């Protein structure tokens, strides 16, 4: 029995789930894809993020070098539930990382102030 393309894609997706950290995923994609293929995927993701942020086509094109025709096709992808789920997860995780860094920065500042107060005594 031969695998159908759909089965092969599902097997590939399942194999990707074994990669549980960004460095592992980056290493795999960097080895598996050509530099151009990897760059195209990254730019598509960047455009998706910019669409979600409400950037204009001209802003997206200027920042990424992607044509307005490609931006338009990527824009249609942004309506797909799977793409929306990925973007939502990514934005939530990015927001959490940003807030955690703000908290750590605040706490480091408080610790430095306390250390300065105690060393001055």
User: How deeply is 30 buried, as exposed, middle or buried, from its count of CB atoms within 10 A (0-12, 13-18, 19+)?
Assistant: exposed
Q: pLDDT of 94-106, one tens digit each?
A: 888 888 888 888 8
Cα–Cα distance between 25 and 92 in angstroms, integer?
Answer: 19
Low-confidence ranges of the chain (pLDDT < 70): 1-5, 111-121
Where do we find the tokens 């703000």? Answer: 102
Rounded to 5°, the CA angle 26-30-34 comes to 150
User: What is the pTM for the complete model shown?
Assistant: 0.68
């Amino acid at each position: 029995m031969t695998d159908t393309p759909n089965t092969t894609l599902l097997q590939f997706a399942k194999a990707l789930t074994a990669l549980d950290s960004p460095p592992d995923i980056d290493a795999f994609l960097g080895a598996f894809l050509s530099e151009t293929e990897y760059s195209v995927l990254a730019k598509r993701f960047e455009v998706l993020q910019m669409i979600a942020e409400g950037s204009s086509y001209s802003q997206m094109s200027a920042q990424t070098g992607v044509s307005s025709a490609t931006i338009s096709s990527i824009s249609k992808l942004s309506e797909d539930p799977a793409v929306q789920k990925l973007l939502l997860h990514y934005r939530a995780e990015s927001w959490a990382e940003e807030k955690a860094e703000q908290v750590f920065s605040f706490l480091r500042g408080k610790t430095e102030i306390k250390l300065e107060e105690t060393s001055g005594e």
